[in-house]
Structure 1
Amino acid sequence: MIIARPEWFGRRKYGGWGVSVKTWQGAAYLASVLLILVAVQLLPLSTMARIYVTAAWLVFLFLDMFDVMWKVRRDEREYIHEAVAERNAAWAMMPVLVLGIFIQLISSSLKGDPYVDPVPVIALVAGVIAKSVTNYRLEREN
């Protein structure tokens, strides 16, 4: 546990991933994090120093929130609901990514310079790897 406490937050059910504020302490934590981020931008620093300080702050914030998301308590029903919601989100994103890759490839090929942004391709490959590893692990456990 770094700074934020899991009891200050709840699982975000609607509107994305992550956590939502549950108590006044969570709201105060979020407000202080944002105020510090704004304050850093107002400091008389060089551009590179500002970038480094902001990046360090965002890495800290990511680690702190990842710790909270990992520790937020859920009951068995919430785990099942979350698993179904995550599966449905993945199924909704996959055809959009694949279609986007094909449109990009066809469009760039028609211009004589075939190109595909590697980020969606990497995302799809990472998804396949995550699914394969998860299925392998679950089969080994059962």
Structure 2
Amino acid sequence: MLHLSQSSEPHIAEVGLIEGTEHFRNIQRHDVKTLPHLLSLRLDESMFFANSAFLEETILNMIQNRAEIEHIIIQCNSISEIDFSALEMLESLNRQLLDKGIKLSLSEVKGPVMDQLKASDFMTHLSGKVYLSHYQAFEALS
């Protein structure tokens, strides 16, 4: 019960590039490079039924007053599992973002999670791309 409670509202960090490196850290804790048209996020939990609505709502709230955002990259290195509810949420989020003119990309997706994404329709509808590293995504979308 405690795990379910804690993982239902996971930490979502907006991250930026530590200049001179390929490392990304929380913008609230580090002096990092960000770009106004690019929202770079790190989810610190797997995605499943208990947190998918929270994740979608949080991401949509983050863009609410930021009209300059054209791309969102979700760094997925902490996501070890994704269930059907979370896949549906990603589909919905992708559509909602696209309606606002924002493309969604993913980076550092683990193999088992990528297998599940490919087994669904999500990859055919993804408005952005999947990048091997977050740095590659950041550079490509800069």
Do they superpose with TM above 0.5? Answer: no
TM-score normalised by the shorter chain: which range applies? under 0.3
> 1 or 2, which has the higher helix percentage?
1
TM-score when scaled to structure 2? 0.25
TM-score when scaled to structure 1? 0.25
> 1 or 2, which has the higher strand percentage?
2
